[in-house]
Structure 1
Amino acid sequence: MITLYGIKNCDTVKKARKWLEQNDVAYTFHDFRENGMESVPLAQWLEASGWEQVLNRRSTSWRALSDEQKNTMDNSSALTLATETPTLIKRPVMTRGSETLFGFKADLYADFVR
C-alpha cells in the first residue's frame, strides 16, 4: 500500500496526487496538518535517509530557523523541529513498506510504483 504524506495545498503535493490519479495508482493521503504528526514515521525516515534528505532546505520554514539551529542540525534536532513544524519536511513523501521517496519527479514515481 502506498501512502503519500504532505500538505494538501502544497503545489508539489498537488502535482504528485494528480500524477498518481492519472496513472491509476491507489494510495492513501496523510495531510501533516489535518491528520497530525503522531502516526508519521518521521524518526524512521531520518534514520534511513538522514536529515539532509528529509528536510527541505529551500523552504520558508528552513529560512526562518536561526543560524545556530541550521549549523547544529542533526537527526535528533530535525525530529523535534519537523514534528513541531511539518512544513520543514520535503514534500511530498511517498512510502511503500520500507521504501521512501522524497519530493516529486514523474520518472522516479513511475519506477517506484512498479
Structure 2
Amino acid sequence: MSEIILYGLRTCDTCRKALKALEGRGVTFRDVRADGVPPALLAGWIARLGADALVNRASTTWRGLPEGERATVATAKGAAALIARHPALMKRPVIVAGGEVHVGWGGGVRAALAA
C-alpha cells in the first residue's frame, strides 16, 4: 500500500469526511494553515494541475481579497505565493497517493482511491 498524504484544514468538513473514509489506510494529515505547504511541492502541483485546479474562487477568503491580489493567480508563481499567504484559499483536500495528486473529495477522487 502506498503512502497517502492529505493536505487540508482540520476545520474543513470535506477534509474530515475524506479522513474518515480513508481511516485505517495510514493517512498522514498535514494542516495547511498550521504547517503550510512546502513551496516546491505547491509549485509542482500548480505546474501539474494548473492554478485553477487549486485556487478556490468560491471561498470566503477569495471574496475577501482585493482585486490586485486576485490578479496574481494569472501566473503559476503568483498563485503559489497567494496560496502560501492564504492557505485557506487552496481547494481541499489535496491528496497525494501513489504518485498521483487528487484535488477535492468528489466521486472521481473517491473511486481513484477506492474509498
Q: 2: CA distance between counterparts of 1:7 and 1:72? A: 23
Task: Point out where structure 1 has 5 or more consecutive residues left out of the alignment.
Answer: none
State the 1:105 CA deviation.
1.8
Kindly provide the amino acid, as one letter, of the partner of residue 11 in structure 1. D
Could you say which residue in structure 1 is the equivalent of 2:15?
13
Identity between Structure 1 and Structure 2 (%): 37
Match of 1:88 in 2: 89
Please give the per-residue CA displacement for 1:56-113, whole angstroms capped at 9, x wherever unaligned. 1111111112223334522111111111110010011000243101111245223235
Count, aligned residues: 112
Deviation at 1:34, TM superposition (A): 2.6
- For the Cα contact (< 8 Å) 2:33–2:88, is it kept in 1? no
Give the distance between the partners of 1:39 and 1:96, measured in 2 at CA: 19
Cα root mean square deviation, aligned: 2.1
**Are 1:52 and 2:52 an aligned pair?**
yes
* Equivalent residue, structure 1, for 2:5: 3
Q: Is the 8 A contact 1:55 1:90 kept in 2?
A: yes
TM-score by length of 2: 0.84
Q: 1:46, 1:59 → 2: CA distance?
A: 18
2:35 is the alignment partner of 1:35: yes
**Cα distance 1:70–1:64, how it changes in 2: closer, same or farther (>3 A)?**
same
**Contact kept in structure 2, 1:19 and 1:106, CA below 8 Å:** no
Q: TM-score, normalised by structure 1?
A: 0.85
1:89 and 1:49 map into 2 onto residues whose CA distance is 13
